[in-house]
Amino acid sequence: MKKIVECVPNFSEGRDEAVINAIAHAIRETKGCTLLDVDPGKSTHRTVYTFVGDPDSVIEGAVAAARVAKEKIDMRVHKGEHPRFGAMDVCPFIPVANITMEECADIAKQFAKKASEELNIPFFLYEEAAEHDYRRKLPDVRKGEYEALEERLKDPRWKPDFGPSEFVPTWGITATGARMFLIAYNVNILGTSNQAHRIALNLREAGRGDDDPGRLKEVKGMGWFVDEYNMAQVTVNLNNYNTTPIHVLFEAVKEEAKALNIAVAGSEIVGIVPLESLIMAADYYIEKENLFIYEEDQKVRLAIERLGLNSVAVFNPQDKIIEYIVAEPPEEPLANLTVRGFIEEIAARTSAPGGGSASAAMAAVGTGLGSMVAKLTQGVRKFEAVDSHMRKNIPTLHELTKQLIPMIDADTSAFNEYMEGLRMPRATEAEKTARTAKMQAGLKTAINIPLGTMRLGDKAWDALCEVARYGNPASKSDTQVGARALETGIWGAYQNVLINIKDIHDEDYKIKILEEANAMEKRSREKCAEVLAILDQI
């Protein structure tokens, strides 16, 4: 799955539109980067940019932005209300999807190295990228701001982590690092600003002071009144939504409001959010209310409704959820064909798509039919006695079907690496060795794709057996076809493993793979027979 990183660089320029736009243009024109927001402030004399992309792209985007700032911002003449010590003041990298905090810390270091070498500018590492504990918190790193920086850099303890040790007057210094995604979140209160602030003091981590901390960790907040909404709000920053998720804050506000005999009227998310944060909320309400919801879009809808995210403005998931904003259509030319088109492609005078793609498609049809029968059984009044069985197995079959569909296209590209090796030169012994290594790696890739199809299909059997045992009898033939299709799909993938593994030189690898593949093929025959035997009794 695609790795998504958010980058939120803050630049010490909030008044000159030409400079602000030039930096935005540099980010926007970087391949692989999506610029989500540009937020300038005249009094702070600062602009915050938000963009996302894959790891390599966000590094390039951040360097491109720094390149413009180096040319157009002069810290010697900068004054503003916000603390600052550099033209690019801070540049945090934030994990959004399929990437760890450790990887983002490494991205920050790669960025600092690349920018410092190209632009001759210094960097401190902070937050999760910090290599010294005393440099972890931004206020400590930025103490004294730009005006104190020249003297501070003379202290060996404050030698930059990257770039020149000498003071660069026009630039200052940049703090770069990795941190959790910050969610700006407001809960609407049908009360006064004083009541909202009282709730915020009870909940925020700092509370009312060291002797009276609040209930929730990693939360900053206050209360205010919003004239345009004619409501008060508990306004918070969730610094780590894994520590205090959105729904935990929302439910805590409801508890505090109930104690004050005032009402909560929904909430709003300011800016954008990771999908995970809303799925966490949905899963909480699904468990709390014993609901049966397994599809992502329905989970998102549930979170929106339970949190009241449409209360003051329409919450459009396509505009507010990062993963949806940057989503690209999957490159699945075969899976996106019509059924007729796919069969005609198989029938054409070409070697691909062939048996591997057909096997993946058949396995997907098998799990899909099982999913269909389970869904046609669940929720029907006369099958209420078996509802728990359907609830347990529908998500499994539904998800496996989704995972098997991309394998249709994966199989067609399985031999690309092998063919690249086949075309490599072999005039010298070194070239022959490199060519052989490439071809062997390619064969392993060609094996792992159908093996992956087998593994996915193998996970479906227990669920399919339960569907056969408890599913709607009127769909008996559908389950029968599903079992046969799944068995055939696994068998076909197995044949693709066998035909490629014979040329593998690594005997240990060959033994290990064959042992696993043989076991799955045997199990598919046994489980298919079990499904059909169950259905024969109906």
Distance between CA atoms of residues 416 and 438, nearest Å: 11
Q: Which amino acid is at 427?
A: A
Q: For residue 124, how many other CB atoms are within 10 A of its CB? A: 27
End-to-end C-alpha distance for the chain, whole angstroms: 42
Distance between CA atoms of residues 268 and 230, nearest Å: 14
| Residues 460/367, Cβ–Cβ less than 8 Å | yes
Residue 32 backbone class (left: φ over 0; alpha: ψ -120 to 50; beta: rest): left
Q: What angle do the packed helices 476-501 and 461-470 form, to 10 degrees?
A: 160
292 alpha-carbon distance from chain centroid: 24
| Tokens describing residue 157 | 């303890």
Tell me if residue 354 falls in helix, strand or coil.
coil
The string of DSSP letters for 45-96 reads TEEEEEEEE-HHHHHHHHHHHHHHHHHH--GGG---SS---BSEEEEEEEEE
Tell me if residue 185 falls in helix, strand or coil.
strand
Please tell me the chain's helix, strand, coil percentages from 3-state DSSP, rounded to the nearest 5.
Answer: 55, 15, 30
| Tokens describing residue 496 | 């693709």
Concerning whether 211 is annotated as a catalytic residue, the answer is no
Choice among 82, 106, 283, 387 that is catalytic: 82
Phi first, then psi: what are they for 166, rounded to 5°? Answer: -75, 150
List beta partners, residue 183: 238
In 271-402 the beta strands, taken as DSSP E runs, fall at: none
Choice among 89, 409, 411, 458 that is catalytic: 411
The string of DSSP letters for 253-281 reads HHHHHHHTT-EEEEEEEES-B-HHHHHHH
Which residue, 7, 92, 88, is CA-closest to 54?
A: 7
Any residues with CB less than 8 A from the CB of 308 and at least 6 apart, and which?
Answer: 188, 264, 265, 266, 267
Concerning whether 82 is annotated as a catalytic residue, the answer is yes
Mind telling me the catalytic residues? 82, 411
